[in-house]
Structure formats: structure tokens, C-alpha cells
Amino acid sequence: MDITFQNVVFLIVAIFITVFSVLTVTTNKIMRSATYLLFVLFGTAAIYFLLGYTFLGAVQIMVYAGGIIILYVFSILLTNSDENINTGIKRGKILPGLISALAGAGIIFFIIFTHNFMPSASANILQEVDMKTIGFTLVGGGKHQYILPFEVLGVLLLACIIGGVLIARKR
Amino acid sequence: MEIQVEHYLIISTIMLCAGIYGFLVRKNTLAMLISVELILNAADINFAVFNKFLFPNQLEGHFFTLFAIGIVAAETAVAIAIIINIYRNIQTLNVDKMDKLKH
Amino acid sequence: MEYTLIILLLPAIMFLFLGLAGHKLKHKVAGLFGTISLGLVTCLSYFTAWEYFTSPRVNGVFEKIIPFNFEWLSFSEALHVDIGILLDPISVMMLIVISTVSLMVHIYSLGYMHGEKGFQRYYAFLSLFTFSMLGLVVATNIFQTYIFWELVGVSSYLLIGFYYTKPSAIAASKKAFIVTRFADLGFLIGILVLSFYSQTFSFVELMNGSSDAILTGAATQTFLGIGVLSWALGLMFIGAAGKSAMFPLHIWLPDAMEGPTPVSALIHAATMVVAGVYLVARMFYLYIGFAPGVLEIIAIVGAFTSLFSAIIACVQTDIKRVLAFSTISQIGFMMVALGVCTGMDSHEGLGYMASMFHLFTHAMFKALLFLGAGSIIHAVHSNEMKDMGGLRKFMPITHITFLIACLAIAGIPPFSGFFSKDEILAAAFKFNPAMGWTMTVIAGLTAFYMFRLYFNIFWGKEAKHHHTPHESPLTITIPLIILAIVTIFGGFIPFGHFITSDGLLYNIHLDPQVAITSVVVAVLSIAIATIFYKNKEQKIPAMLGEKLSGLHKAATKKFYIDEVYQFITHRIIFACISTPIAWFDRHIVDGFMNLMASSTQSLSYSIRKFQSGHVQQYAFVFLLGIIFIIGLILLVI
Amino acid sequence: MNLLLLFVLIPILMIFCLWISRNINQVRGVMVAGSTALLILSGVLTYLYLGARADGDTAEMLFRSDWTWYSSLNIKLSLGVDGISVAMLLLSSVIVFTGTFASWKLKDQTKDFFLWFCLLSLGVFGFFITIDLFTMFMFYEIALIPMYLLIGHWGSGRKEYSAMKLTLMLMGASALLLAGILGIYFSSGATTMNILEIAQLHNIPMNAQLLFFPLTFVGFGVLGALFPFHTWSPDGHASAPTAVSMLHAGVLMKLGGYGCFRIAMYLMPEAANELGWIFLILTTISVVYGAYSAIVQTDLKYINAYSSVSHCGLVLFAILMTNQTATTGAVIQMLSHGLMTALFFALIGMIYGRTHTRDIRELAGLMKVMPFLSVCYVIAGLANLGLPGFSGFVAEMTIFVGSFEHVDLFHRVITIIATSSIVITAVYILRLVGRSIYGEVKNPEFLKLKDATWDERVSVIVLVISIAALGILPLWMNNMIGDSVLPIVNTLVSR
């Protein structure tokens, strides 16, 4: 692998994501777990940036890192108790977890390495998708345009908000 | 050598498997939910990667990821609401103890 | 002679009437209803007998008349159960015996049962019994006999258990029914076997020779080495032995004395218990023709029973039980008489006539004895000899009639018992001298225990009474007197003119040797009894009892037959068959079903564990499944 | 319009009327009117049937009519009766009638009780009037379901257990039955479920018969308390409420014998001849074993339930003898046992309602306190042990004589074994009567008890009269049944 800037960044991001993914699920402290998740999400955003999907990366940071993680942190603090903070990992569960994770990984790796991907010739990693295209595609009503899923997602979010409020409010 | 599809996929696979592992072994419900986020992220990355490398002239994967992020946000909101509610009722987030429906 | 139907129907109607509406009637009215209807039946019976025996003989025999017969139930073309009336010499004779004794008992009961609770019920049951007994004797076919056989069994059950609050009466009634029922099983199987081969139930068809060919053919077939007809007739004899209390099925009869005394007189002395004898007599043609071996068994069983119960009778202290054992002994005589027959003609079949004759006379004098005993019990309110003694002063009529009956049963001329017993002894001697001597000894024993009874009741030491015993009312004494008269003169009836084995006329003539022997034996026995028991102090019997304490005790305990039965029923049938079966049913058979249910349930429980409610477990299984499927796909591709 | 259809329509109408009725008097009114109508109807049917036979109508089934209700499998509502069904209908209507009166005093949810009761009788009547395999099966199932609720809710003692056990065992049996019926349908190659046509066709291959005959026979046999599948009966009867015990032991158990005869043996005669001996041994065991078990029971209902096992065993025993006399006896025994056992259960229910115990060790001297019930109990007992003049005697004797006419020695020997049950029957009946009816009253509480009320008297008297009538004048019933079993028996004998 050539040592280009791209590659170096990718390598760093890859290691970053790998390490923090694993740390997320192995740490005992839930708060740390959430923090590591945040790092992983940042790493993911970085991947998007590397791929040239800057908008997507921005959304990722805003929604995930800015929104969801905050939710997690709040809820962790809300459900704060000794038992929940130090959620040790049950010994008996590690083995099945490992087995399925490793077996899954094995199969996926097998597929990845045996499958012959045929990258499109016109693929240019550095080429960004401009905002205008994204905006038109998102709210356009034609072919390959996404107004309908957009609206549906809006309704879904509304429903979730109402549902969340209903569920979580005190009776 | 260029960075290929496979390399991204390796990252996402590791993330996915970490998520799976976390989902299976964590006791805390919130921690399980965090693992689910990992899994979803892994999927998101794959969408973006496939879009970029295999079909660079289209935006399906891009938008799918976009919507997925939105839906994940919604899901998380509802799930956390439920978890908090459960916590209020049984004072624990231990998933092993959430088996009242069984009886 | 269609009017004979009334003889049958009147008691049945009276049973229904008294049974359904009786409790609304006054005691006296109900009793009179029963008695009057029975009086009517008696008159009709006598009229029937007169008309029957005065009708001309055909070929020297009285014809069998079936005035009435209808098909009641049909099993197949050949086998159908009819209900009808068959008149032949023995059934007509039985009509007379039953109606006479029954009438006496009806009248007697008016006084004896006076004021009893359930008086109407008593008369209803008496009517039921009379109806069934009459139905039994006039039966045209063997199945009708069986039907009424069961009915007399149940009326006996009901009457023994008349005092239904008394535990001993309940037990006795139960015992009587079950023992006879067991015997009836033999009877039923006998009927099944016989009808299977003969393809008819009808007595007439069986006896008039038309079935001989079939039966002869059947007689050659064997089952377990014994001819099928011997099986059939032998099994029927078991039925007869049950009803007639032959050893070892005699145990119910002494206990049956728990019933009211008139009932004992009617059912357990005069009529029902001789049904077995009647049955054998009824089937005599078949016994002689196809199963002479069974007849010999009958003779041996009869003789043994007779001896056995005579010995027991010598030591019993309950007067009714003495009479009960005496009844068994006398029925044994009748059975012996039937058993010693070797052919159908009048000489070889002398026993047949003798048996019927003795049945007749015995019915009269034994009814008299029982009614007399009832009169005594009525006076002293006890069955035990020790509560009696010296009663001759207080109860002259009872005393005299009782004495007459004792003389009759002891076989002293000219009382009726002498004649009939003499014929039996003659028949027995003719069959086999040993048998003859045995029976003579038993006759002596009979005289001994009867006079023991007599002296203990009417002579001897006076017991202390709460109040002075007095003679019973007229309703009680009149039947006694009537029966006494019959007992005195009954012996002079030329019985051979009416009933013989082949139906031909036969003149009874006394065999002087046999007659003298038996009279001498009887007189000797009476003399011994007089010496033993007439005095107030009964030293000799007490001394003998001590000397032979083993025998004495065994005899008092009726040779432990009851205990053997008790052992068989409770220890073996109840404890070793029924309880294990019930246990087996509850725990093995049902347990198996429950096991199936519970194993299904536990299987469900174990399957339910998959549905544990643990999300992670589900996810794990789910993942494994996916991995497996993907792996499979990869392998296939 | 077929007269037979009324047997189904009246219960449906009753259910509807019960549903809209407002108070207990209306409920009772509906029940009395309906059950009386059924009783009259079955009387009329018997009269018409005998009339038609007397006029020389020799068709195997009378009052035939068909309505297709599921055309793709050609399932029809085929109505038709012969003497056996007529007898059974008569029995059922008597028991429904008396059952109504026997549960007159029921307090708890009377309306619902009678609703289910009507549904139960609907199933029973439906079963007897149809001759289409599938429709019969359907009515059979209709009769089963209410049983669970009736026992489980209105029962006594371990009612949930018993209801569950009874329903499960009978359901298990009906699974066998369904397999058997489908087997018959498909292997006969028929395009119809009609019994008569399948019998006419008579082309079920032998190996199929050998497979499906045991299925069908056991399927019905469970209902007819065939050893060793009888254990639902003691528990079920002991827990069931009075009217349900009556209907169940009185009628539903007869479905078993009826089905064994009409379906299993009629349609698969070769297998019946081939395998008959196995079931013959089982039924003989039932007969003797039930009687022995009854000796040591202490619960009145258990005694009667085991006695039912014995008597119902005799029914199956007799039909396996495959001759006209024995089979006629079997049908009479069904009638007789139905009436007797219904009488027993009615009386036990009445006694239990007063004394609150069924243990014969605690009951004593009932004759003093409730003479009417006790006398009837003794009558029922005597009828049960086969006293002449009652139906039991006629039935048993017909069976024994018929069975003994069998040419095969084996059959005759086991007949003798079965015959011995009459002695054992006497033992347990007399033991029971002696202990609980006779004697002195032990429990002073009992002295306060009252004798039967008018409604109970109606129920008991009707049953006693039926039993006595059948016992005293059996010939017409005997002839009616005998004619009808003949075609089936001929099928069995000739093949």
C-alpha cells in the first residue's frame, strides 16, 4: 500500500474505529461505553468524509454525535445506579457472543475475499457530491428522487416523538 | 495500491461483529442499544461504500444512509423512552431480569 | 284352564298395589287385602288341582297342559323365552303347597307382624314372593324358571332384610342373595350350555322325547373330558344347590333366619328352599337319560349335607337356627331321594315320588314348626333356648301342634313325615345299603335334635320372664292348627296316584323291614333325647359336651364353613383381587394416561424454555441460524 | 322437510330461546318445553318407524334425505334412521328430559348451564340421525366440547383435572377416529361419506382395513370405556354435575358402541372378523375388571362409573360376537345401561345435594330419612344387577344367550367369563345398598334432610318406568332392533 495521505488517513481512521468499536463493547462502565461509541461515530463520519460524502458526514456528526449520544448520556445519567453503571459482563455469555461474532466475521470475511467486486471505472473517491444535487434529489418528485421517503420519515419521526413522550411521561 | 472496497468492508465488518458481540453479552439494556448503534453504523458505512465504489453516478446508498440515520434517531428516542420507563418500573436495566412477560 | 292365569296375576297385582299405594293404607286394610287375595289364589289352586287330577289320564299319565303361553322375548328362531303356565303333576302339587303355606303365613302374619313398621311393605313383599314362586313352579320353559328363580331370590333378599336397620339382617340378606346369585351363575351357564345343544328352552320339547335325538348326539361331545350335557346338568345342579342350601352353599340359610319368622316359615322352610329339589325333579328326565353320573353326585352331596347339618343342629341353641339346619338336612333327604333313582319307571324311580312326597309333607310340618317357633318367640321375645323352658303350661296350642310336627319330622307313624321318609329310606336302601343306613342314622339324629329342641322349649327349667308368656292370638294359632291337621293326615294321601317318575299310577306300599328299622331308630333317639333333656338339670349333655369338646365346638361353630367363606371373600376376593385391581386401575392404567399427559406437559415445559424472554438468547439463536443458513448456501454454491 | 331434522332444530331453537330468556323461570320453561317436545318427537318417530316397517318398508334406513353442505368433498347432511338409531334417539330424549328435571334446582349460572347442555344434546341427537361419516364426526365433536365446560365449571371435586382428562382422552380418541374415517373415505375410493354407500361399495382393501379398523374401533372404544382407555370415566363422572353425568354416561358413552358397530365393523367387516378376538379379550377384561374394581370403591359415583365400565364393556363384547342375538342384546344393553346409569347418577346427585358426601362409609340409614330416593336407589341397584322385570336382565340375557350361540369354543368360554360379572355386580350393589341405604342413621345431621321434591320425583319416576317397561315388555324393542342389526350382522358374517 502506497503511503499516500489518503491511505494514511484511512489507516488511522480504520485503526481508530476498530479500537473504539471493540472498546465500546468490552468496557465495563456504561458511560465509557457511550463515549467510545461517540468516537466510533466520529470515525464513521471521517469515513464518509474520505468517501467524499461530506453532507452525510455532517449529518452523521450532527444527528448521531450531537443528538443521539446526548440522549444516551442523559438516559444513562437518569438510570444512574451502581448496578447499572458497572454493568459487568456475564461470564457465561461471553462464549456464545464470541462464537457468533467470530463466526459471523469469518463468514463475512470469507465472502468479502472470495467475492470479486467490480468497482466502477468512473469511481472517484475525492469527488464530492454537491449540495444542490442532494437537495434536488431529496425533495424532488421524479425518478431516483426521494420526496416520498422523506415525507414518510418526517411522519415517522413525528410519531416517534409523540410515542416517546407518551411512553416516557410520568403517570 | 489504492484503497479498495474490501478495506472499508473490513472496517465495517469489525464494527458489525463488535456490535453483535456487545448485543449478546452486555447486561445493561442501554449498552445493548449502544451495540445496536454499532451494527447500524456498520451497515451505513457499507451503503456509502458500495454507492461510492460500485455505482458512483447514483445516490441510492447515500440517501439510504441518510434515511437510516434519521430512522436510527427515531428508534433510539423511542427505545430510550421505553428503557427509562422500564427502569422506573423495575429499578433495573438488567436485561436478564426483564422477563416479566414470560409469566 | 285359563283361569290359572289369575293365580299368577293376582299376587303380582297385589304386589304393585301394596307396594305403590300401601303406605297410604291402614295396616289392617293392607294385610286384609293381601290375605284375601291370597285366599282367592289358594281356592283357585285347589280348584285347579281338583280339575287337573280328576281329568282323565291319557295312556295312564296325566297330560301336561299349557293353558297359557306367550312369547316374552325372542333370542333367535329356536330360542325364545315364553312366559306361560305349565300344569303337570308336580307343578300342580307345588301350587297347592305354595298357596297353602303362603295363605297360612299371610294369616299368621296378621297377628305376628301386628304393629310393625312397614307392615304394608311386608305384605307387598310376601305377594311378590308368592307371585315369583308360583311363576317358578308353573314355568313352561327353563328360562322362565330362571327369571322367577331370580325373582324369588330377590324377594327372599328383601324379606330377610325386612328389618333394614338391623346390621345382622342386612348382612344376612346380602349373604343370602350373593350366595344364591353365585349358584345362579351356575344355573345360567347350565341353561346356556343346554340350550346351545338342544336349541330349545321349552320343558315340553325337552321332555317329550322330541329332542332326544339331538341330546343323544350332544351327549357324545365332551368338554375337559366330561360330557357337555353332564356339564350343563351339573351346573344347573349348582344353581339348585344354592337355592336349596346344599353343602357348601348352605351358609346363607341359617343366617336368613334374621328375617321375620313367618318369612322363614314360608321361604326358608317350605317353598323357596325346595325350589332346587323342584328344579332337579323338573329336569329329572334329562338327568336320568343323559347324566346319571350327576345324579349320583346329587345323592352324595345330599347325604353329606344332610348328615352334616343334622350334626350341627344337635348343638345349636337358637331355635330358629336348629330349624334352619333341620331344613337343610331334610332337603338333603329329598336330594338323596332324587339322586338314588336309576331309571324312569316307578320302581327304579321310586325316589322321585318319595322326594316329591317328602317335599309336600316337609313343607307342611316345617312351616308348622317355624310358625310354632314364631309363636314362642312372640311370647318370650327371644330366639335362645335358655330363655325358654317349661312353656307347655303357658302355650298349650303351640305346644301340641309343635309336638305333632316334631313327631312328624322324627318319622313316627302315623304322622305324615313317617310315610314320606320311609319311601326315601326304601329308595336309598334299594340304591345302596350303605346309603340306606346312612340315611337311617340321619333320620335318628333328626329325631334326637328335634326332641332336644322340643324338651328345651316346653319342658326343662323355666327361664325367668319379664312377664308371664301367654298363648298367641287366634290369627297365630289357627294356622298352627290347620297345619297340624294337615301334618297328621297328610301321610295318608295316596301320593303315588298323583306323582311318579313315569307318571303312571303307583301304589305306595311300606317295606316292613325299612319301616320297622326307621321307627325303632326314631323311638330310640327320642328316648335318648328324653333322658338327656327332659329333666331340669341337663347333666349328660353337658358332660358329653365336655368329653367331645373339639367336636362340640366345631359343630357349634358350624364347622367353620362361614369362616372359610369369610376368608375367601374378604381375604382373597376383596383383598387379593379387587383391591389390587382397583389399585392397578388408579395407578397403572390411569397412571399411564396421566404419565402421557404429564410427559407431554413436561415436554412443553422444556420447549417453553426456548421462549425464555431473554432477548440475547433469541439473538444468539437467530444469529446461529443465519450463520448456519449462509454457511449452507455457501457450501451449496 | 324431514322429521329427523327436528331433532337438530329443536335444540337449536332451545339454545336461541335460552339465550334471550331473562330469568330462571323462562329458562326452565324453555327447557321443559323443548325436552318434552323432543320426547314426544322421538315417540312419534318410533311410532312412524314401526308403522313403516309394519307396512313392509324394508329399506335399511328410513326417513332418508340428503343436503350437500360441502360439495367439493361431497359431504352431505344425510339423514336416516334404522331401529338402532330410533332406540338411541328414544333413550337420548328420555335422558335429556329427565336430566332437565334433575338439574332443576341448579343455582349457579343456570342459563349458561342449560345452553351448553342443549348444545351437548344437539351433538348427541345429530350423531344418531346422520349417516354421513363426516357429519357424524362433526356432531360427535360438538357433543364433546360442551362437556369440558360443563364439568370444568359446574362440576364438583377435582373438576378441572377431570374435565381436562376427559376432554383430552376423548379428543385423542377423536383424532384416531378422524384418521380412521379419512382412511375409510380414501381407501374405499368412494366419492361419498355416506355409510350405506360405502358399505355397498365394499372395496376397502384388506391391508387398509387392518390399519383403519383398529383406529376407528379404538377411537369409538375410548368413548365406550374400552379397557385400558376407560380411566376418564370414573374421574369424569365423579366430577360432572348430575345432568351431565346422566347425559354422558347415559347417552354419550353409547355413541362409542354405536359407532363401533355402525362404522368400524359395518364398513370393515373383514378386519372385524380378523382382529375381533383382540378386542374381544379387551372387552372381556373390561367387563370383569370393571366389576372387580367397583367392589372396593367407596365413592358412590366411582362405584357407578366402574359399573358402567363393566356394562359398557358388555356392549362392545356383544357386538364383537357378530350374531344377531348378541348384537340385539348389545343395543338393548345400551338402552338399558343408559337408563339405569342415568337413574343412578340422578339419585346420587340428589343424595349428594342433601348429604354433601358420596362416601358410602359416611352414608347410612338413608332409607329412614329419604325413603323415596332410597327405594328408587334400591330399584336402580336391583336393575343394575340384572333382576328380571328390569331392562338389565333382558339385555344381559340376550347378550349371554346370543354370545353363547357362537360356534367357536373360544367365544363361548369368554362368554362364561363375562357371565361371571353378574355375581360380582351383585356383590358391589348389595354392599353399597347395605351400607348406605339400610342401617341406622349415623350422622345426626342427616335426620333433618327432606325427601325428594316434585321435580326430582318426575325425573326419577320417568326413568324407573322406562327401565321397568323395557324389562317387562321387551319384545317390541327386541324385534325392532333385531331387524335393524340384521343387515350389518349379515355383512359381517358373509364376509
Q: C2-11, C269-278, D187-196, D466-475: which has the minimum mean pLDDT? A: D187-196
Q: Which domain holds residue A153?
A: 130-171
Q: How many residues does chain C have?
A: 637
A154 and A165 housed in the same domain = yes
Read off the C-alpha cell for D298.
367407596
Q: Nearest CA to D240 among D378, D138, D338, D99?
A: D99
Which tens digits make up the pLDDT trace of D159-179?
888 888 888 888 888 889 898
CA nearest neighbour of D314 among D225, D218, D409: D225
Q: ipTM value, please give it.
A: 0.73
A and C touching (3 or more beta-carbon pairs closer than 8 Å) = yes
Domain spans, chain D: 3-494
Collect all residues of chain A within an 8 Å Cβ-Cβ radius of residue B22.
24-25, 97
Q: What are phi and psi of D62, to 5 degrees?
A: -105, 170
Please name the residues between 36 and 95 in chain B that touch chain A, using a CB distance below 8 Å: 37-38, 41, 44-45, 48-49, 52-60, 62-63, 65-67, 69-78, 80-85, 87-88, 91-94
Q: Using CA atoms, how far apart are residues D88 and D49, in angstroms rounded to an integer? A: 13
- Position B100 scores a pLDDT of 67
Residues C274, C244 contacting (CB under 8 angstroms): yes
pTM above 0.90, yes or no: no
Our CA-based measurement puts residue D196 at a distance from the nearest CA of chain C, in whole angstroms, of 26
Sole residue written with cell 347410612:
D364
Among A44, A114, A162, pick the best mutation site for testing chain B contact (most B Cβ within 10 A): A44
State pLDDT tens for residues C154-200.
Answer: 888 888 888 888 888 888 888 888 888 888 888 999 888 888 888 88
Smallest Cα distance from D348 to chain C, Å: 20
Question: Where does residue D63 fall: left (phi above 0), alpha (psi -120 to 50 degrees), or beta otherwise?
Answer: left
Per the DSSP assignment, residues forming a β-bridge with C87 are C65
How many angstroms separate the CA of residue C615 from the nearest CA in chain A? 12
Q: Is residue B18 part of a domain?
A: no
Report helix, strand and coil shares of chain D as percent, to nearest 5.
Answer: 75, 5, 20
B67 lies in a domain?
Answer: yes
Q: Do A107 and C616 touch (CB under 8 A)?
A: no
CA distances from D74 to D60, D63, D190 (A): 22, 20, 10
CB contact under 8 A, B7 and A14: yes
**pLDDT (tens digit per residue) in C561-619:** 777 777 777 777 777 777 887 788 778 888 888 888 888 888 888 887 777 777 788 88
Rounded Cα–Cα distance for residues C190 and C195 (Å)? 8
Span C98-157, pLDDT tens digits: 888 888 888 888 888 887 788 888 888 888 888 999 888 888 888 889 989 988 888 888
Mutate to test the interface with A, among C612, C615, C622, C624 (most CBs of A within 10 A): C624
Whether residues A140 and A94 fall in one domain: no
* Contact residues on chain C for A89, CB-CB shorter than 8 A: none
Domain count along chain A: 2
Extract the runs of DSSP E, i.e. beta strands, from D82-199.
none
Query: How many other CB atoms are there within 10 angstroms of residue C114's CB atom?
Result: 15
Contacts 24+ apart (CB under 8 A), C314-318: C314/C445, C314/C448, C314/C449, C314/C452, C314/C555, C315/C545, C315/C552, C315/C555, C315/C556, C316/C556, C317/C384, C317/C385, C317/C386, C318/C257, C318/C383, C318/C384, C318/C385
User: In chain B, which residues have their Cβ closer than 8 Å to the Cβ of C611?
Assistant: 102
In a domain, B20, yes or no: no
Question: Inter-axis angle of helices D269-295 and D421-432, to 10 degrees?
Answer: 40
Looking at residue B12, what is its pLDDT?
92
Whether D36 and chain C come into contact, CB under 8 Å, resolves to no
Please list the alpha-helical segments (H only) found in C499-614.
512-533, 539-547, 549-556, 561-566, 579-583, 590-608
User: Among A91-105, A144-158, C494-508, D393-407, whose mean pLDDT is lowest?
Assistant: C494-508
Q: Which of B11, B20, B53 sits opposite A18 (nearest CB)?
A: B11
Residue C366 C-alpha cell reads as 316345617
CB distance A41–B84 less than 8 Å?
A: no
From chain C residues 516-545, the ones with a CB under 8 A of any chain B CB are none
Q: Give the Cα separation of A31 and A82 in Å (integer).
A: 12
Partner residue facing A96 (CB), from C620, C626, C631? C620
Between A166 and B39, residue with greater pLDDT: B39
Task: Name the residue among C611, C612, C616 with its Cβ closest to that of B24.
Answer: C616
Angle in degrees, CA C564, C566, C567, rounded to 5: 65
Using CB atoms, pick whichever of C613, C614, C616 lies closest to residue B23. C616
| Domain CATH for B53 | 1.10.287.3510
- Beta carbons of D404 and C196 less than 8 Å apart: yes
Please state, in angstroms and rounded to a whole number, the distance separating the CA atoms of residues C519 and C418: 8
CA nearest C303: which of C436, C499, C195, C482? C436
Strand D62-70 to D75-81 pairing: antiparallel
Contact between A104 and C623 using a beta-carbon 8 Å cutoff: yes
Task: Please give, rounded to a whole number of angstroms, the shortest distance from the CA of A37 to a CA of chain B.
Answer: 7
Q: What is the pLDDT of residue A85?
A: 57
Q: Does residue C384 sit in helix, strand or coil?
A: strand
The helix/strand count (H/E) of chain B reads as 3, 0
User: Which of B24, B100, B102 is closest, CB to CB, to C620?
Assistant: B24
Residues D463 and D243: their CA atoms lie apart, in Å, by 13
For residue B60, the distance in angstroms to the closest alpha carbon of chain C comes to: 26
C-alpha cell at D460: 326419577
Q: Is the pLDDT of residue C6 over 70?
A: yes
Q: For residue B19, is it within any domain?
A: no
- Conformation bin of residue D357: beta by default, left when phi > 0, alpha when psi is -120 to 50: beta
Q: What is the pLDDT of residues C498-549, one digit of tens each?
A: 887 777 777 777 778 888 888 888 888 888 888 777 776 667 767 777 777 7
Radius of gyration for the alpha carbons in chain A, expressed in angstroms and rounded? 20
pLDDT in tens, D436-446: 888 788 777 77
Based on the domain organization, do A81 and A32 belong to the same domain?
A: yes
Helical segments of chain B, H only: 5-25, 29-54, 60-90
Q: What is the pLDDT of residue D434?
A: 84
| Contacting residues of C for A93, CB less than 8 Å apart | 616
Q: Which of C161, C173, C590 is facing D231, going by the closest CB pair?
A: C590
CA distance linking residue C375 with residue C387, whole number of Å:
14
- Residue D69 DSSP SS3: strand
Same domain, A72 and A153: no
Establish if A10 touches chain B: CB-CB under 8 angstroms: yes
C151 contact residues in D (CB cutoff 8 A): 387-389
Q: What is the number of domains present in chain B?
A: 1
Interface membership of A17 toward B (CB under 8 Å): yes
Q: Which residues of A touch C620 (CB under 8 A)?
A: 96-97, 100
Beta-bridged to residue C286, according to DSSP, are none
Task: List subunits contacting chain A, requiring 3 or more Cβ pairs under 8 Å.
Answer: B, C
Show the 3-state SS of C327-379.
Answer: HHHHHHHHHHHHHCCCCCCCCCCHHHHHHHHHHHHHHHHHHHHHHHHHHHHHH
- pLDDT (tens digit per residue) in D90-129: 899 999 898 888 888 877 788 888 888 888 888 889 898 8
Q: Residue C53 phi/psi, 5° resolution?
A: -80, -15
What are the tens digits of pLDDT across the range A62-104? 888 888 888 888 888 888 766 655 556 667 778 888 888 888 8
Q: What pLDDT is stored for residue D206 in this prediction? A: 84
C-alpha cell at D297: 370403591
Q: Is residue B3 part of a domain?
A: no
Q: Give the A:B interface size as CB pairs under 8 Å.
A: 243
Domain match, A32 and A61 both: yes
* pLDDT of A170 higher than 80: no
Contacts of B73 in chain A (CB under 8 A): 63-64, 67-68, 157
Residues A71 and A141 in one domain: no
CB of B97 within 8 Å of a chain A CB? The answer is no
Q: Which three cell numbers stand for residue C42?
A: 289358594
Query: Cell for C582?
Result: 382397583
pLDDT at residue D404 greater than cutoff 60? yes
Residue with the three cell numbers 337438530: D8
**Which H or E run includes C630?**
helix C615-636
Whether D and A touch, i.e. at least 3 CB pairs below 8 A, reads as no
pLDDT score recorded for residue D450: 79
B84 Cα to chain A: minimum distance (Å): 7
- Chain A residue with minimum CA distance to B47: A48
Query: Which H or E run includes D374?
Result: helix D371-384
Q: Mind telling me how many Å the CA of A66 is from chain B's nearest CA?
A: 11
Q: What are phi and psi for residue C556, nearest 5 degrees? A: -60, -35
Q: What mean pLDDT comes out for the span D361-376?
A: 83
Residue A128's CB: how many other CB atoms inside 10 A? 13
Q: What are phi and psi for residue C529, nearest 5 degrees?
A: -60, -40
Task: Give yes or no for a contact between C476 and C107, defined as CB atoms under 8 angstroms apart.
Answer: no
- CA–CA distance, D60 with D81 (Å, rounded to integer): 8
Regarding whether A142 and A121 lie in a shared domain, the answer is: no
- Look-up: residue for cell 373383514? D270
> How many Å apart are CA C451 and CA D230, to the nearest integer?
60
With contacts defined as CB-CB under 8 Å, which chain D residues touch C222? none
Domain residue limits at B50: 27-95
Q: What is the mean pLDDT of the segment spanning C315-324?
A: 84
Q: What is the Cα–Cα distance from D202 to D204, expressed in whole angstroms? A: 6
Q: What share of chain B is helix, strand, coil (3-state, %, to 5)?
A: 80, 0, 15
A171 pLDDT tier (thresholds 50, 70, 90)? low
For residue D433, the surrounding DSSP H or E stretch is none
Q: Give the C-alpha separation, C364 to C488, whole Å.
A: 10
Mean pLDDT value across chain C = 83
Pair (A36, A118) in one structural domain? yes
Q: How far is C609 from chain A (nearest CA, A)?
A: 17
Answer whether residue A151 shows pLDDT above 60.
yes
Residue B102: inside a domain, yes or no? no
Which neighbouring-strand residues pair with D77? D67
For cell 310376601, the residue is C126
Question: Which chain B residues are closer than 8 Å to C620 by Cβ?
Answer: 24
| Cβ atoms of residues C472 and C338 within 8 Å | no
Task: Please return the burial class of D407, using the count of CB atoms within 10 Å of its CB with bins 0-12, 13-18 and 19+.
Answer: exposed
Higher pLDDT, B100 or C339: C339
Sequential DSSP letters for C257-276: GGS-HHHHHIIIIISGGGHH
Could you say which of B31, B38, B57 has the minimum Cβ distance to residue A122?
B57
